[in-house]
Structures are given as structure tokens and as C-alpha cells.
A and B are shown apart, each in its own frame.
Chain A
């Protein structure tokens, strides 16, 4: 206490300037909803990377003798109509769902980033052209376009359709991200520091990547977080409709589609993949919500 240096050190963090991200992190740390979402996401990611951590059963070890058997004998949720362990299938289903969600979101993110950045920065006819293009993509209802595209891409009977689903969701899902990026870029490019950098002779690429992008990226990341959830649901929808994953793939959407006709006799194979799917989507949407709130200075 008597040492003046100790006081100075203790006070230093509150006086040091913090970045927007630093502020946001301090805000996020206090939010219950963020932690719930983060724990859910970590659990699902673990499940995707390391399913044997959660179950020792083999999801492909199916015995018709156990058809629709109830819980017990090591199977937490019982067995489905083919005698497969529902819990093991649900755990292993996380991998393809997450894989599709993450890669499709990355594709959509890259397209959205480039289109939004270019349209917002250059403006004029480039913007008009790209914006009309976005309008056209948006004019076709998403599922209709996805069904037709996925069907076309997955014509190869050998594959389990995962590439087709990823490409479909990625190619069709970037529009919102592009719009958000565009408007963030437009508001960032008129700031004084961008004008200063331009005056110093920075090239358009440097202006875009070093000065505008870092200040326009946070709403974009929020959109991508939510899009990740939407894409996971999209995989399930396409698989459910019969144009998504197929063959020996294991995914929540496939499990829901398979269990549907037998729901009257055995509800567990329908209910559990549904619960896992909804919880995962919910986690990503909550995460996006929490991050948006933290990054929005108006709400503080």
C-alpha cells in the first residue's frame, strides 16, 4: 500500500486505451447467454472432432434384433428401426453437420466479403452491378434454389453428397453477409482516417485491407456466426428432402428423415437428433446475438 508504484500498476488497465474488441470482450464476459452458447458450441465441436469421447458404441453396429428397443444395455436413448444405437448415431452425426456448417459458411463468407468490400469501396457502377446481382440471387426462394442446385451437383451415385451440400449452401448463402459488409464499408470509407491514409498515398488494396476492413468486420462476423447455425439447419433440411447427404453418411438431418415414418412406434430416434440439431443452431444464434450486443456501442 505504501508503495506508490503498486497503485500505478493496479490502475494501469483502466486508464490504458482499449480497442473495440477489448471493450466487447469485457462486456461479453459478464453475459450469461454468451457463456451458455460458448459451452454448447465447445461441446458440439468436441463431439465433431472426437466422438469417441462421448460414446464407446459404434454407430454403424446395427442389429435388427434390437429394432426399436428401448433405452438400456448401454444405449442411452435406445435403438432405432434398424437396431442402431440412437445416442451413438446422434453423437457421430455432429461431425458432418459441423463440417458442412463450417465449410459452407467459410465459402459464403469469402464470397460475401469480396462482393461487399468491392461494391462498398468502389461504389458507382460496380456497386450497382453487384447489388443487382445480389437482388437476383435473393429473388429466388432459398430452398427452391438449394434443392435444384444440390440435386444437380450430387448426381454422382458414388459420393455421399457432402461436397454438393457444402457448395450449394456456400454459393447461395452469401447475400446477407455481402449486404452487411457493403454497408459497413460504405460507412467506414468516409471516415477521416481513411481520407488521411489516402492522402498519404495508400493504394486501394491497402486502404481496403488495412484501414477499412478492420473497422467494418464486426457486423460481418456476427452475420457469419448466425449463418453457421442456419447452414447446419440447411444441411438437415436438404438431407431431409433427399438431396443432401446420403448413402452411409451419418447426420442429424438424415436421422430425422429416417425416423419420421417410424415415429409412431419409436419416438426417440426422431426426438434426440432434433434436440441436438436445435440446440446447436440455438447456440450459434445466441453467440451471434451476444457478440452483436457487445460490439454495438449504442447499447452500452
Chain B
């Protein structure tokens, strides 16, 4: 186990440098005159150039710049966006609402997925199973760009059931509609995996043994089948967090939620390189850490899995 964790951590370091390097290169390499790009159309004096260089290290080679950036990142200094705001501060302001949105989406999605998935798996081929399969197919085909504006239009504006936008300190009710939309990204796959693994586990030997012992059907399903069926679902939920963070970019854009995705999108539109690189780096770290935790959890949940 220990060796496995060490190996995974080393892999994470490699992935982290690979990902940030690529993002950094894409945002900053090959700009003709980075100083001019910083100030726009105004003419630039030599002293101003020197002052900017002291701040941004733009005259250095690309690798040196990247080195400056990574050392800053590792000491918790994300630098400043082109608008002069501290990126660390912007992140601190943007995270809470995104985390709440993502958590709400995960909770909604997994409750629906596990509930409906177990029911569908228990009666494979039944009416409920067929209907849920068709529904998941439709949900799978609905990208967030389609679903978010439509949901906002129908439930936020025309029916008026939910507020069509949300603020930074939005309450649960304000976040419900965006979270529902975000949850659709992952609910279909989670439901299908639950259904498949319940159906498979129902045929397992230990279920037959449990039934033969005379256990109540409720206990067989609720304890024996469910516990084993949820293992792949939990891994999937971990992977889904990355999907949700991606989906949050569009969802937050549509519903005007000033979270991480919203800021990131604005940074891309205004060509704010430092902001984009800072936000993406943090998102990648979060994604990597969550994946590691999920993999370790996997071993804890399923004693058959051993990492050497």
C-alpha cells in the first residue's frame, strides 16, 4: 500500500508538471512583444519596460519564466492577473460557490442514479428498466450547452420555479437548478453502472448463499448486493468530479454564478494568461488529488483489491 501511494504521488508530480507546462506554453509562448501585449496600444518607455520586467520576468527565456511560475505556485503565490488582482484571492473568492455547486450536483446525481439504478437492476427488462434506459440515453445526448440555456428558459424564466441566476453567496435553493443541470452530466453513466453491477451481483454465489440461509430479500439486496454494487459507482463518482469541474465552466457561465469556471471563462475571453494558468493549475491539482483519494478508497472498500 505504502509503495503504491509513493508511486502514485510520483506519477502525480509528473502529471502536474506536464499539464502546467503545456498550459503555460499554450498561453504564453510565441507572443511577439509581451510587454506591448500587457499595456495595449499605449507607447511604452524603457523604464516602464524595466519595471514590468522586474515584475513579470518577460525578458527571460521561456523555461526560466516557467520556473519562476512553478516556484511561485509551490510557495502558494499564484501571481497577479492582468487586471492587477491577486489570483490567490480571486481563487479564494470563487471556490466556495463552485464547491457547493459541484457537491450538490454529486449528491443529486448519485441519489437518483443509485436509487433508480438499483430498482432497474433488480428487474432487468421490466417496464421501469426500459424507461430509465431510454431516459439515460436522452440525458447522455444532452450536452450542457443545450440543457443549461433550456432549463434556464423553461424553469427559470417561463415557469419561474427557480431563480434564473445565482450570486456568490447563493443558498441551496438558488443553486438547485444549476446543480440539477450539472448533475445530468454524470447521472446517466452512474445509473447505468449501478444497474449493471446490481444485475451482475444478483447472480453471484454469495447472494445465493444469503438467500439459502433464509435472509429476508430486503437484507439480501440492501446489505449484500448493494454494498458490493456500489464499489464501481463510488470510483465513478470520483472520476466524475473532473467532469463536473469541466461542466461547471458552461453551467456557471449560463447561470451567471461567479465561481471558478465563470472566472476562468472570463480570463480566456480577455486573454488573461496568468489568471487562466493559475486557475487551470489549481483545478488540475484538485482533480489529481481526488483521483488518488478515490483509488485508495477503492482498496479500502473492496478487500479483494490489494495494491502492492
Contacts and interface: CB of A to CB of B under 8 A. Distances in A.
Q: Label chain B's interface by main secondary structure.
A: helix
Interface stretch (B10-18, B56-64, B170-178): B10-18
B145 interface: yes
Given A148-B276, A152-B27, A260-B254, A141 B283 contact: yes
Interface stretch (A44-52, A185-193, A197-205, A239-247): A239-247
Name A's interface SS.
Answer: helix
Nearest to A143: B246
Contacts of A282: 137-138, 140-141
Nearest to B288: A139
Interface in B235-281: 242-243, 245-247, 249-250, 253-254, 264-265, 268-269, 276, 280
A274 B253 contact: no
Interface string A127-152: 00000100110011111110111011
A163 interface: no
A260 B149 contact: yes
Contacts of A279: 141
B111 interface: no
A240 B252 CA distance: 13
A237 B150 contact: no
A242 B246 contact: no
Interface of A: 132, 135-136, 139-145, 147-149, 151-152, 229, 233-234, 236-237, 240-243, 253, 256-257, 259-260, 263-264, 267, 270-271, 274, 277-279, 281-282, 285-286, 289
13 contacts: A132-B11, A135-B11, A136-B19, A140-B23, A141-B243, A144-B249, A236-B143, A237-B143, A241-B250, A241-B265, A270-B153, A277-B146, A285-B141
Given A136-B18, A237-B250, 17 more contacts: A136-B14, A139-B15, A139-B291, A140-B19, A142-B243, A143-B249, A144-B280, A145-B22, A147-B249, A236-B143, A241-B253, A242-B268, A242-B269, A264-B153, A278-B143, A279-B141, A285-B140
